[in-house]
Structures are given as C-alpha cells and as structure tokens.
Amino acid sequence: MTHGFNVNDDLVCEGIIGDGCGGGRLFIVKESTLIAYDPQTKSELILLENVSKAMKISKKMCIITIVCQNETILFDLSSLQKV
C-alpha cells in the first residue's frame, strides 16, 4: 500500500521518475474516472471521466493505457487528451 493505494491493484499504476510524463505520481481509475494522485502534495487531478468497465491500467512514457471491457483507451499525459 502506497499512500492508501495498492500499487498491485489492476486499476492503479505508478509513474516512474525519468520515464516521460507523470513521474512520481500514481494513476488510478476510480468510479469511472482516471485520476492522477501526487503523493508530495496529496492532491488528486481528474484526467478523464466516463471510463467504462475498466479492467487494467498501465503507463509507458507519456501514454496511459486503460483496458476496458469494450475498448482500450490511450491517454496522452503531455497533451492531456485521449489519443
């Protein structure tokens, strides 16, 4: 458990420092919303809403991939938009 979030949960991923955007933050899908959590400031930022039936989240460089039951969403942290 890190900051109240289980980083081993399929709907939580950690931004690695030096790996593009969002280093040091946690990215969580909670109640159909993609959230960035900053452990230093303990603040949350809503990135994307209406994420339906999410099953897994991962991050590589500036792209967050959310695998949902009916689609796969790519979210670009550098532009803060779906790709």
Structural domain of residue 16, as residue ranges?
Answer: 12-82
Of the candidate ranges 2-11, 36-45, 55-64, 70-79, the one whose mean pLDDT is the lowest? 2-11
Q: How confident is the model at residue 5 (pLDDT cuts 50, 70, 90)?
A: low
Any domain includes 39: yes
Are the C-beta atoms of 73 and 82 separated by less than 8 Å? yes
| Full-model pTM | 0.87
CA 73 to chain CA centroid, Å, is 11
Q: Which residue type is seen at 51? A: V
Any domain includes 51: yes
Any domain includes 4: no
Percent of the chain with pLDDT over 90: 75
Any domain includes 26: yes
Measured between alpha carbons, how far is residue 30 from residues 19, 37, 78 in Å?
A: 24, 11, 21
Q: How many CB atoms lie within 10 A of CB 22?
A: 22
